[in-house]
């Protein structure tokens, strides 16, 4: 999440909503957001509703949910999804921003 905070202004400049979804309870999520002063939306998903909806892998041997980065356009269509194999398999923000720029360019064409 530090990576998202670091480049949040670039997402904001593109009029993109950043939402981080996690397995913790609402109270734990709220505490974490306040302690870390995160500028984007945090969505507690302890019942795994969002995880199931977007087919995020849950691997108990790797301590829970595997990271996933999903870009959803304004029509609600998933236009990009990266399902990570580990915490080190997370695309850099620059890659996600390029995808957003491509989508925006296509929308403006």
Neighbours of 3 (CB within 10 A): 12
According to the model, what pLDDT value does residue 109 have? 47
CATH topology of domain 2-108: Glutaredoxin (3.40.30)
Neighbours of 51 (CB within 10 A): 19
In this predicted structure, the answer to whether residue 65 has a pLDDT above a threshold of 90 is no
d(CA 21, CA 81): 14
pLDDT band for 13, please (50, 70, 90 cuts).
very high
- Domain locations in the chain? 2-108
Which tens digits make up the pLDDT trace of 20-37? 888 889 999 899 999 999
* More confident of the two residues 85 and 74: 74
pTM to 2 decimal places: 0.79
Mean pLDDT taken over the chain: 85
């Amino acid at each position: 999440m530090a990576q998202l905070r670091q480049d949040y202004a670039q997402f904001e400049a593109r009029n993109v909503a950043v939402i981080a979804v996690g397995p913790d309870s609402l109270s734990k999520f709220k505490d974490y957001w306040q302690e870390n002063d995160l500028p984007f939306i945090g969505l507690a998903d302890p019942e795994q509703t969002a995880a199931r909806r977007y087919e995020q892998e849950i691997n108990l041997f790797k301590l829970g949910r595997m990271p996933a980065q999903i870009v959803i356009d304004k029509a609600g269509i998933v236009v990009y999804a990266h399902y990570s194999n580990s915490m080190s398999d997370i695309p850099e923000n620059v890659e996600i921003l390029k995808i957003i720029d491509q989508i925006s360019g296509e929308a403006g064409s």
